[in-house]
Structure 1
Amino acid sequence: MIGGSIDQAKRLIDLYRATGRDAGHSDEKLQVGITSHFYIGETQEKALDDFYPYYQRYLSPETNGGRGWHIDRTQMGHLAARRGALMVGGPREVAEKILALSSELGVHRFLGQVDLGGMPQQMVHDSIERFGDIVAPSVRHVLTR
């Protein structure tokens, strides 16, 4: 999920599952994993502000051999909103989005692309630490009830 929304991903996942069932595979074998650009900041707003310059650089056609696109802060905010594809926010918001992927789409695995656009090493480290210390345990707690 590099762009778009959970609703757009749902259409693709539904197609995948229908095609898998038509090919004789059971629903249990048709597992789904999703990946997204990822950053966990101290708060939602701080995460968006801190991540934006690196995300903008990462997507830019100038740094992608002409294949990228220009994105402004407002557009990035829409992608990071509750139903958007971008996993950027505070720990609570990211945990809620991961849980939404599980409950609404039946996603079994989430892979965050954590280092992009020349992010400083400390920023990457802090995001991974917040994921491991706060987000993953809270998601696990809800999913294992």
Structure 2
Amino acid sequence: MLVVCFSATGNTKAVSEKIVEVTGADYFEIIPTEPYSESDLNYSDDGCRANREQQDETARPSISGNIENIEQYEVVLIGHPIWWGMEPRIMDTFMESYDFSGKTLANFCTSGGSGINTSTENLKALSTEANWLDGKRFSGRADTDEMQTWIDSI
């Protein structure tokens, strides 16, 4: 099992680390080649980098590093925040970078209020040959019991 995570502010990373603790899975952090600055994440600024990327369906921010031997993992849990109701575009970069055919996938997200459904459908569309399990939205303050309950349910 592999837990993959993109976290711009640390909330999703904290949840991912708890899932790793619960499952004993390997861990890979998606790190943008060009890190996001505080001003890049200023959602009240229409021109900030995050907003520009989200408004451009073709945006594919580059990732620093890659997963070697992805074929060894049967289950991949994919963590991301929600930006404007869906996954950040860097998650699309990630999904398009690997062949997940025949693998079991589930995504999880952190969000203060937005749901996971749109991002789940978007990610599924990028890997139609995978077996997708139900995803889960967590708050940044979720505890390991919540992670265990989700893992047990899938």
TM-score in terms of structure 1 length: 0.29
Question: Which structure dedicates a bigger proportion of its chain to strand?
Answer: 2
TM-score (norm 2): 0.28
